[in-house]
């Protein structure tokens, strides 16, 4: 499944990332909608959910996120909705880890 979030805030460290494998962090923006996929490697066998997916969070609950590979690139987002059938666009798509 996938979850759509609206990015509320992010640290300045995201824009400063220049390593080739991590340049995607430069494109994060406040107010953008991002789509995050929950795939089996990150899914708990017991709950069949990914940690941090915002399960049970609706409306104005602010959730925290952190980019893998750069713990200084972090911020907050709000859950918009969960999609049982993923249709994340190629840009602004991420994977829970």
- Look at residue 76 in the predicted model and tell me its pLDDT: 94
How far apart (Å, rounded) are the C-alpha atoms in residues 65 and 95? 12
Total-model pTM: 0.81
Residue 28: CB atoms within 10 A of its CB come to 20
How far apart (Å, rounded) are the C-alpha atoms in residues 48 and 84? 13
Is 17 a domain residue? yes
Is 51 a domain residue? yes
Residue 55: CB atoms within 10 A of its CB come to 13
- Look at residue 95 in the predicted model and tell me its pLDDT: 72
Is 12 a domain residue? yes
- Look at residue 97 in the predicted model and tell me its pLDDT: 59
Chain center to CA of 83: 14
Is 97 a domain residue? no
> How many structural domains comprise the chain?
1
70: DSSP letter: -
Say whether 95 sits in a helix, a strand or coil: strand
The DSSP secondary structure of 38-55, one letter per residue, reads --GGGB-TTTS-BTTS-T
- Look at residue 92 in the predicted model and tell me its pLDDT: 62
- Each residue of 72-86: pLDDT tens digit? 999 999 999 988 888
Domain of 83, in residue numbers: 2-92
- Look at residue 79 in the predicted model and tell me its pLDDT: 92
- Each residue of 30-75: pLDDT tens digit? 998 888 888 888 899 999 898 888 887 776 789 999 988 888 999 9
How far apart (Å, rounded) are the C-alpha atoms in residues 37 and 14? 20
Is 76 a domain residue? yes
Is 59 a domain residue? yes
Is 44 a domain residue? yes
């Amino acid at each position: 499944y996938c979850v759509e979030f609206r990015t509320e805030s992010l640290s300045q460290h995201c824009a400063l990332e220049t390593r080739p494998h991590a340049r995607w962090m430069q494109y994060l923006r406040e107010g953008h909608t991002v789509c995050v996929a929950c795939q089996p490697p990150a899914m708990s066998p017991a709950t069949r959910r990914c940690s941090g997916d915002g399960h049970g969070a609706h409306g104005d609950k602010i959730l925290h996120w952190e980019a893998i590979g750069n713990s200084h690139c972090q911020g907050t987002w709000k859950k918009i909705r969960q999609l049982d059938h993923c249709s994340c666009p190629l840009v602004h798509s991420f994977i829970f880890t």
